[in-house]
Amino acid sequence: MMSPNLKETFKELDVNDKKNVISRELILIGEFVKKMKEHYDLDADFDIKNYDVNTETNEDDYLLFIYEDIFEIEKQLISVLSRME
């Protein structure tokens, strides 16, 4: 569970900074998944995109961008779980 202080700090960010934080968190999760895949001797060649706040992106495009990363992480986790069984 997220601490109230961390949640409040996030709430105080502007929208672009929030997008950057979310992007960095997804990249970190992707790195964890890569470590798991390497541990199970699976191909860890996938990328999680880094959101660039300097790029003009409307909300629909941003949501699609993030959704693609979430989908990729999910797919990679399924491959790790399949190997674990």
The predicted pLDDT at position 5 comes to: 95
Burial-class residue 3 by CB neighbours within 10 Å (0-12, 13-18, 19+): exposed
- SS3 category, 19: helix
The predicted pLDDT at position 59 comes to: 87
pLDDT digits (tens, 9 = 90+) for 28-77: 999 999 999 999 999 999 999 888 766 777 889 889 989 999 999 999 99
Query: Full-prediction pTM beyond 0.75?
Result: yes
Q: Is the dihedral of CA 51, 53, 54, 59 positive or negative?
A: positive
Give the DSSP H or E segment for 16.
helix 15-39
